[in-house]
Amino acid sequence: MTVYLMRFSYTPETWSKLIQNPEDRRDAGRAYIEQVGGKLLGFWYGFGEYDGYAIFEAPDNVSMAGAVLAIAGGGALASVDTTVLMTVEDTLKALAKAKGIGYRRPGESSKA
């Protein structure tokens, strides 16, 4: 399965609701991803650009996109950003493939 990092920020209204009625949102995140055959691997809150971070495993990009769209469409988030995470092994394979691609910078001659 593919691993994804989701970064999100709540709306002020969502924070207000959570202050009035504190809730562990890991359970909700877990339920959403399990509906598409995935798994919640971790869930954190932090300071900075984003309010929270979750790491999910999902069978494919379409499944993960469906879960993220459902979460984002709920209206509780001000922003959401999802990144596909690659293993070191997959990155090494990608580097090997890149080695065989003849990249040419814009404006450079195609003659070597």
Give, rounded to a whole angstrom, the gap between the first and last alpha carbons of the chain.
41
- How many helices and strands (H and E) does the chain possess? 4, 4
Q: Is 70 part of any domain?
A: yes
Q: What is the CATH number of the domain that holds 79?
A: 3.30.70.1060
Q: In the numeric block, which tokens belong to residue 25?
A: 């949102």
Q: Is 24 part of any domain?
A: yes
pLDDT at 15: 97
Each residue's pLDDT, cut to its tens digit, for the chain (112 residues) gives 999 999 999 999 999 999 999 999 999 999 999 999 999 999 999 999 999 999 999 999 999 999 999 999 999 999 999 999 999 999 999 999 999 898 888 988 776 5
Q: Is 42 part of any domain?
A: yes
User: Are the C-beta atoms of 55 and 42 separated by less than 8 Å?
Assistant: yes
Q: How many domains does the structure of the chain reveal?
A: 1
- What is the DSSP secondary-structure string of 17-47? HHHHS---THHHHHHHHHTTT-EEEEEEE-S
Q: Is 101 part of any domain?
A: no
Q: Is 106 part of any domain?
A: no
CA gap 93, 77 in Å, rounded: 36
Q: Is 14 part of any domain?
A: yes
pLDDT at 108: 85
pLDDT at 102: 86
pLDDT at 111: 65
Q: Is 94 part of any domain?
A: no
- Which domain does 39 fall in, by range? 2-87
